[in-house]
Amino acid sequence: MEKTLTICYKEFGSVAELEPADRELMERAVEATRSAYAPYSHFGVGAALRLADGSVVCGSNQENAAYPSGLCAERTAVFAASSQRPELRDYAALAVAGRDAEGELCEASPCGACRQVLLEYERLQGHPLRVLCLLGGGRVREVASVEDLLPFGFDM
Ligand code: THU
């Protein structure tokens, strides 16, 4: 039997069009691109995670001369939140932004490994974690759930 999967998402023309809390979250992600340690790719990524109590934990990509030892911004943020606030492993939204080698803001979308990690926390908390990605031209894409980014994700 053939089945079809449909993914719904929203697109905003600019960060200014977001709800105030999401706008602040995206601004925090943009700010976090500045703390990227990316001497190899010269591509900075910033991530800002909003916890259930409204607080925000940020992360940026951290590279290493032994390339696979580095870590993406999204996992840096969510692992920081989960380890520093284990009692509040409940996440409302994640914003992600990129900064290219010229220092210009650009699109950044979570890689497959980050999607798998985010999916586990989403399933653990039992309600959706929204993901906002900065796109080219300052637009923003929002998916309502990590499931939308990684259908059929792995679980045990
Ligand atoms: N990167 C992230 O931080 N998040 C992603 O989801 C994709 C890629 C980082 C990893 C590396 O430091 C740089 O971007 C270039 O791949």
pLDDT digits (tens, 9 = 90+) for 102-130: 999 999 999 999 999 999 999 999 999 99
Looking at residues 139-144, what average pLDDT do you find? 98
pLDDT at 65: 98
Position 61 scores a pLDDT of 98
pLDDT exceeding 90 applies to what percent of the chain? 100
**Helix (H), strand (E) counts: the chain:** 3, 7
pLDDT of residue 155: 94
**Are 80 and 107 within 8 A, CB to CB?**
no
Give 87-127 as a DSSP string. Answer: GG--EEEEEEEEE-TTS-EE-----HHHHHHHHHHHHHHTS
| pLDDT, position 45 | 98
Confidence of residue 147 (pLDDT cuts 50, 70, 90): very high
Q: What is the pLDDT of residue 144?
A: 98
Please say whether the beta carbons of 110 and 77 come within 8 A: no
Best probe residue, ligand 1, of 62, 111, 117, 132 (max atoms within 8 Å of C-beta): 111
CA of 92 to the centre of ligand 1 (A): 22
Ligand 1 lined by 73 (C-beta under 6 Å): yes
How would you class 90 by CB atoms within 10 Å of its CB: exposed for 0-12, middle for 13-18, buried for 19 or more?
middle
Instruction: Identify whether 74 is a catalytic site residue.
Output: yes
Given the residues 63, 74, 122, 142, the one annotated as active site:
74
Q: Is the CB of 134 under 6 A from ligand 1?
A: no
- Closest atom of ligand 1 relative to the 45 alpha carbon: 3
For the chain, what is the mean pLDDT?
98
Q: How confident is the model at residue 133 (pLDDT cuts 50, 70, 90)?
A: very high
Tokens of 93: 């939204």
Distance 3 CA to ligand 1 centre (A): 33
pTM higher than 0.75: yes
Residue nearest to atom 4 of ligand 1 (CA): 72
pLDDT given for residue 56 in this prediction: 98
Q: Report the 10 Å Cβ neighbour count for 154.
A: 8
**Residues 111, 92: Cα–Cα separation, whole Å:** 20
Q: Looking at residues 61-70, what average pLDDT do you find? A: 98
